[in-house]
Amino acid sequence: MSESIIEVDPVLFGPNPRDLDGETEDTSLQVRVHPSEAERAAQALASVVPRFYFVVEDGRELTEEELERNHFLLRPLDSPGWVSDVYRHPDGPYVVIDNNGYMSPEAGRTTAGLVVQALQEAGITRARLTPSPDHEGVNPDEVWIQT
């Protein structure tokens, strides 16, 4: 079996390349893979999407009870309010993460780590995590896996 090589693009969760003013961060994630591994990559990505909701701005993945208590804090730690289904793209599956336009570096590292682990467990041999392609006006027929 080949060694798994999964790279994380340094601009993942960085400035949104589609925002010419540079005021927002791109909170999307694409798994770029060889077409022969796209289905397994999509399944792996879909398997960890529910966990994204529990990743807070300081990088911790909270339990359901901890996240519930977090909502009652004077200043709750930010976490995603919504994550899209897994969308189809020729370069590989992707999701959009609604994190109010910004994901902290700590939360980004944890989120990427969850995906890397899922891809390795799925036996993906080579992948690169990057911001997704332009997802404005996504065609609902491109939904690959509902999460």
CB-CB contact of 146 with 47 (8 Å): no
Name the pLDDT band for 40 (thresholds 50, 70, 90). Answer: very high
Which residue shows structure tokens 């399944």?
Answer: 43
Predicted TM-score (pTM) above 0.85: yes
The H-or-E segment that residue 117 falls in is helix 105-121
Closest CA to 128 of 97, 103, 92: 92
28: three-class secondary structure by DSSP? strand
Name the pLDDT band for 23 (thresholds 50, 70, 90). Answer: low
User: How large is the greatest C-alpha to C-alpha distance in the chain, in angstroms?
Assistant: 50
Give dist(CA 68, CA 135) in Å, integer: 30
**3-17, 38-52, 77-91, 95-109: segment of lowest average pLDDT:** 3-17
Give dist(CA 28, CA 83) in Å, integer: 9
